[in-house]
A and B are shown apart, each in its own frame.
Chain A
């Protein structure tokens, strides 16, 4: 797998490798976090979410890790496939508000 530092705009991985996309969030009051995937020409699509009372959540081939101490969120994609190529956004929801604050996005490129 390939680990990246906080917000690299582009991540290139080999098909079959694991991908790790990182995100730093800004608001200590945020208690809900979401990862979205956006393919070219489409709207963002929900991947996985996590609430602040958890530090890890797993889905199908994806895992989200939350470190509240350093305000860091990561998305791990196992066995990355060409169909995973997209822009990935993290988003935070400050507690008791309707706001959703998006990160800058990371473009994941999967090489065959």
Chain B
């Protein structure tokens, strides 16, 4: 089944404890992206990647890192999480300049 998977789906952590949210797609898509969704602010793009080893900042990249060592994986790294990074996170993938397929979301709470 063609899909985007994210892990974990739910995570509660404490300020400053490094964490990684994984994202994987099995559709051989070149493009992958991370978003956060917050009430009243909608979906905002954090980082995106147009191919392996190519990443770029979205609208809200501060406090996040990404890597794209392989085509199928695009992990989101929070080196020192803070409470303002409590949010619902979505990973998405697509062929270049086509509709994006979204994962099921990761709900992160930083205490």
B104 touches A42 (CB 8 A): yes
A32 touches B97 (CB 8 A): yes
A34 touches B99 (CB 8 A): yes
B102 touches A44 (CB 8 A): yes
Give the CA-CA distance A45 to B4 in the complex, in Å: 12
A102 touches B50 (CB 8 A): no
B42 touches A89 (CB 8 A): yes
B44, B56, B99: most-surrounded residue (chain A CB, <10 A) = B99
A102 touches B44 (CB 8 A): yes
Say yes or no: A98-B56 contact (C-beta < 8 A), given A43-B90, A89-B43: yes
Q: Which of the four size classes fits the interface of chain A? A: 20 to 34
Cβ proximity bits A84-112 to B, threshold 8 Å, 1 near / 0 not = 00000101010000111111110000000
Give the CA-CA distance A43 to B101 in the complex, in Å: 9
Q: Which residues of B contact A46 (CB under 8 A)?
A: 99-101
Q: Which residues of A contact B4 (CB under 8 A)?
A: 43
Q: Which residues of A contact B90 (CB under 8 A)?
A: 43-44
Q: Which residues of A contact B105 (CB under 8 A)?
A: 42-43
B42 touches A104 (CB 8 A): yes
Give the CA-CA distance A108 to B103 in the complex, in Å: 22
A-B contacts, 30 listed (Cβ < 8 Å): A34-B99, A34-B100, A36-B102, A42-B104, A42-B105, A43-B92, A43-B102, A43-B103, A43-B105, A44-B43, A44-B102, A45-B102, A46-B99, A46-B100, A46-B101, A49-B98, A91-B43, A93-B97, A98-B31, A98-B50, A98-B56, A99-B48, A99-B58, A99-B59, A100-B33, A101-B45, A102-B42, A102-B44, A103-B42, A105-B42
Extra contacts, 10 of them, besides A43-B92, A99-B45 (Cβ < 8 A), are A43-B90, A43-B102, A43-B103, A45-B102, A46-B99, A49-B99, A91-B43, A98-B50, A100-B45, A105-B42
Binding site for A on B (CB under 8 A): 4, 31, 33, 35, 42-45, 48-50, 56, 58-59, 90, 92, 97-105
